[in-house]
């Protein structure tokens, strides 16, 4: 799980990740990105992550936002098979699973 995996990294790395997360801002040129962008958040994530997703979605019309049910932070670690299947289907077939909540 996410907690267990987080415990495996060094204290310095963990602190750096936390600092980067807390100081994140959307890059100025992001609004001009022309690729399709998938923005994911877990249903069990903290409100700040969901608010960040909404800010990202508002910053670029090429974004598709999804909320993944029954998942907290770190879907790629919590359920790598689901994550890889989700990304593969979205990239190759422009398909998202029906059980996801599409935000925009």
Domain segments of the chain as ranges = 27-102
Joined tokens for residue 32: 């001009």
Q: In which element (H, E) is residue 4 found?
A: helix 2-7
List the pLDDT tens digit at each of the 104 positions of the chain: 667 777 888 889 888 877 887 777 899 999 999 999 999 999 999 898 899 999 999 999 999 999 999 998 888 888 899 999 999 999 999 999 888 888 98
Q: 0.85 exceeded by the pTM?
A: no
**Res 73: pLDDT:** 84
């Amino acid at each position: 799980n996410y907690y267990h995996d987080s415990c495996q990294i060094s204290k310095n790395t963990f602190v750096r990740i936390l600092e980067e997360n807390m100081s994140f801002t959307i890059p100025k040129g992001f609004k001009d990105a022309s690729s399709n962008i998938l923005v994911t958040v877990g249903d069990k994530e903290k409100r700040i992550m969901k608010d960040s997703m909404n800010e990202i979605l508002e910053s670029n019309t090429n974004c598709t936002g999804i909320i993944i049910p029954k998942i907290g932070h770190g879907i790629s670690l919590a359920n790598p098979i689901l994550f890889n299947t989700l990304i593969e289907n979205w990239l190759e077939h422009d398909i998202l699973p029906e059980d996801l909540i599409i935000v925009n």
